[in-house]
Structure 1
Amino acid sequence: MSLAPSHLSSYSAQLTPQHRLSSHALTRSDPVPVLLKASREPAHAPSFSLRLPREFDATSQRASGRCWIFACLNMLRRSMLGKLDLPASFQLSQSYVFFFDKLERCNYFLDSVIGTAASPLDSRLVQHLLSSPLNDGGQWEMLVNVIEKYGVVPLDAYPDTWSSTASLKMNRFLTSLLRSWAAKLREAIEGGRGEAELEGMKQGYLAEAYRVLVIHLGEPPSSVDFSFHAAKDKLFTRLPSMSPLDFYHTQVPTQTGAFVSLINDPRNPYFAAYTVEYLGNVVGGLPVYYINVPIELLKKYALRTLQAGESVWMGCDFGKHFNRSTQVMDTEQFAHDLVYGVEPEQSKEERLRYGQSLMTHAMQFVGADLPEGREFPTKWRIENSHGKELGDKGYALMTDEWFDEYMYQIAVRKDMVVEDERIKALLDDTSKVTVLPAWDPMGALAE
């Protein structure tokens, strides 16, 4: 049935004076201040019973999708405080990890093109691979692959460039190259080219990709010369020159390979392992490996990690029920029903199934508020990577209710979770894994 004038008249007749008042407000202003509930403001006070000491200056990923790298490197720099009295402004170079992730991802994509040559060009899988071969985002195991292979360096050793902070144009050009190379590789395979010839073609393409990355980001350093003034006594410290890998292994106590990803995906059975098809960056590196657990276990191990004095890398659906200026995530802070007369009603599982929710941003937990008598915190303190100007000097706040609905992943030390025999069994035998399709929302953080 098509819409008729009578339908429109009926819809108009259902508008109440309250709806028209809402229209007067929202046609003249930003919806956020109209929708905000003043009654929720006390719950958003930046006071936490558990707060990690020595907070660093908030960082900014700017106009790039490097949140997963920032969250990880912010976690690693915190672990360095036990060894070095670093100033609050210290950062590890996000661009250094970014460069090698891009280069490795070009190789991973070209290998995937060769590996899917038997599939029709218009198949859903091949079209998915071609749709976005060089995104900025990524997953925990992808961080492990790059950092364990190339190490890390201080920001001063490899600073940001224009294209690392605004990656769109670089990504578009590299993506156009990758698609043209994909066409040539598929044509070569159809023409009967052998494995050695295909590898030769691929190596030529990778040399060109390296050149483009160097032009945009600069050539990464092969050695690290690092000096700083200590935060407390301001004494000057100079470390011996070393390779990026040596710097990582000698100066960063937290090693990324010691962690496991726990997710909360109510669509699938708990205490089972999952991966996502064709989600990766380093050929021959670790595949994405998730252990699916109830949301209470994400809270339990996130809280336990904070109580141990360490921050927690995490992935969530950032932007839902979110106040950008205050950096508050709270499912109860907006009065949608009062203003619109209607409220979306979907469970977490339904939102995943119907495309309303997926992992979109990585940050790290650095604190929590745990009133006496409660099992879990009422709110969580978060170090974001959107600069110092928003929230509490760049730090955000998440309510416990928001955690339930939009938190999807944390990376925690394996030795912390092996107390649970169900998790330990999956860590001992990683062959029992269910493969989710390449376009599954559990892989969306890499996009």
Structure 2
Amino acid sequence: MNEAIEKKDLQKFEKAFAKDRANIIAMNAVSSEGVNKAAMNVYKARNNQHAFNVEVESGKVCNQKQSGRCWMFASYNVMRLNVMEKLNLENMELSQAYPLFYDKLEKSNYFLENILATLDEPREGRVVSYLLTDPIGDGGQWDMFRSLTYKYGVVPQEVMPETAVSSATAELNKYLKTKLRGYACELRTAYEGGKKLEELRKDKEEMLNTIYRMLAISLGEPPKKFTWETRDKDKNFVQVKDITPQEFFKKYVEMDLDDFVTVINAPTADKPYGKTFTVQYLGSVRGEQYPVKYLNLPMEDLKELTIAQLKDNKAVWFGSDVGQFSDRRGGYLTLDSLGVDELFNTSFPMTKAERLDYGESLMTHAMVITGVE
């Protein structure tokens, strides 16, 4: 075949397609139902049943709606189990709007500090270009949530409920990104004009004051102290009175977050097992001793650790590439439920290492594992 697609090439493709009757059947099915629905292997799906011989009480399903707060929801789905057990509750949710407020504020400060740290880097260079690509988003990691929780504590959802903005963050993110990119321009321009770092940090304070105002208008101001009232499984009245978010975390969540380590399976040549790795410029809370860090281990070790934690009656926070072979209707993440290779009469032979190296896979969603068989 030559460099360009020629008419004779198209004729070969068309002839090969028409030659196999299965292609016509597949075309009709996919055109009507979509790829994943047409590729569903109903026999394999039957084997994926939601019952396990080791299972952790998890409470009702939570809904992050149109936001990227999966890592917060997953973290709280681990933490809230302690509150439910301590207070004999059927169900409860920790406020996901509360950490969102401080996460946005901390990420704004983190971004501006990164801009101050790279003032001598060229604006068109890879580092500054990378920082400006996405100044602030919804996503995060376990270590970032650990820092937020230790600094700000937690509150029940009733104390700081959802708002239209916390449930659909795109609009707020748009204006925060616009503001932060503008601030980056101001700081770099002022530095080029001779302003010293101390003066720029004074400018940063006023910038963060504006960010705080935008967040408070969008999400409401977070409580400093609160009283929470509910009923337990036996319909008894429960009152938690005059408590701070930090005190609530210590007394009712009562979880040593330092006991948890983020382990990953990245079988690439540049990441040997048994070593820890981080991502430069990934974080949120400045001045904290919890940088984002991953311990790379073989998959068998991850499985053993997951099972051990579940047997210890603790849910497991995990991240995955959730769009790969995912059946949203049935709630399955399995390689054999979707016969896409059979549907298209081809194969997808890349290994996990190759998918990571070539940008085909990355962590896109955080959830919790609550059961295993």
The question of a shared fold, defined as TM-score above 0.5 by the shorter chain, is answered with: yes
2:252 aligned partner: 251
**Match of 2:130, as an amino acid?**
H
Match of 1:342 among 338, 346, 351: 346
Identity %: 34
Deviation digits for residues 390-433 of structure 1 (CA, Å, limit 9, x no counterpart): xxxxxxxxxxxxxxxxxxxxxxxxxxxxxxxxxxxxxxxxxxxx
Aligned residues of 1:79 and 1:310 also touching (Cα < 8 A): no
Q: After the TM superposition, which residues 295-314 of structure 1 pair with which residues of structure 2 at under 5 Å, given as runs?
A: 295-314=299-318
Q: After the TM superposition, which residues 271-286 of structure 1 pair with which residues of structure 2 at under 5 Å, given as runs?
A: 271-285=274-288, 286=290
Task: Write the distance in 2 (CA, Å) between the matches of 1:30 and 1:83.
Answer: 47
2:360 aligned partner: 356
**Match of 1:155, as an amino acid?**
Q
2:84 aligned partner: 81
Task: Write the distance in 1 (CA, Å) between the matches of 2:96 and 2:366.
Answer: 14
Match of 1:201 among 200, 203, 210: 203
1:23 aligns to 2:24 (yes or no):
no
2:36 aligned partner: 32
Task: Write the distance in 1 (CA, Å) between the matches of 2:153 and 2:67.
Answer: 22
Deviation digits for residues 20-56 of structure 1 (CA, Å, limit 9, x no counterpart): 1111211122222321112203321112111113x31
Q: After the TM superposition, which residues 121-136 of structure 1 pair with which residues of structure 2 at under 5 Å, given as runs?
A: 121-136=123-138
Aligned-CA RMSD value? 1.0
Match of 1:181 among 183, 202, 206: 183
Match of 1:6 among 8, 11, 17: 8
Task: Write the distance in 2 (CA, Å) between the matches of 1:41 and 1:69.
Answer: 30
Q: After the TM superposition, which residues 99-110 of structure 1 pair with which residues of structure 2 at under 5 Å, given as runs?
A: 99-110=101-112
1:63 aligned partner: 66
Larger mean Cα displacement after TM superposition, 193-202 or 167-176: 193-202
* Structure 2 SS opposite 1:161: coil
1:319 aligns to 2:323 (yes or no):
yes
List 4+ stretches of structure 1 deviating above 6 A: none
Task: Write the distance in 1 (CA, Å) between the matches of 2:259 and 2:184.
Answer: 35
2:166 aligned partner: 164
TM-score (norm 2): 0.96
1:398 aligned partner: none
Task: Write the distance in 2 (CA, Å) between the matches of 1:338 and 1:257.
Answer: 46
Shift of 1:224: 2.0
Aligned residues of 1:224 and 1:247 also touching (Cα < 8 A): no
Deviation digits for residues 369-396 of structure 1 (CA, Å, limit 9, x no counterpart): 1xxxxxxxxxxxxxxxxxxxxxxxxxxx
Aligned residues of 2:341 and 2:348 also touching (Cα < 8 A): no
Task: Write the distance in 2 (CA, Å) between the matches of 1:148 and 1:130.
Answer: 28
TM-score (norm 1): 0.80
**Match of 1:41, as an amino acid?**
A
* Structure 1 SS opposite 2:33: coil
- Unaligned residue ranges in structure 2 (runs of 5+): none
Shift of 1:258: 2.5
Aligned residues of 1:119 and 1:126 also touching (Cα < 8 A): yes
Deviation digits for residues 290-334 of structure 1 (CA, Å, limit 9, x no counterpart): 111111111111110000011011111111100111110110111
Aligned residues of 1:108 and 1:280 also touching (Cα < 8 A): yes
**Match of 2:295, as an amino acid?**
I
Larger mean Cα displacement after TM superposition, 278-287 or 300-309: 278-287
* Structure 2 SS opposite 1:28: helix
Task: Write the distance in 2 (CA, Å) between the matches of 1:181 and 1:290.
Answer: 32
* Structure 2 SS opposite 1:19: helix
Task: Write the distance in 2 (CA, Å) between the matches of 1:230 and 1:39.
Answer: 42
* Structure 2 SS opposite 1:239: strand
Q: After the TM superposition, which residues 103-122 of structure 1 pair with which residues of structure 2 at under 5 Å, given as runs?
A: 103-122=105-124
Aligned residues of 2:108 and 2:208 also touching (Cα < 8 A): yes
* Structure 2 SS opposite 1:81: helix
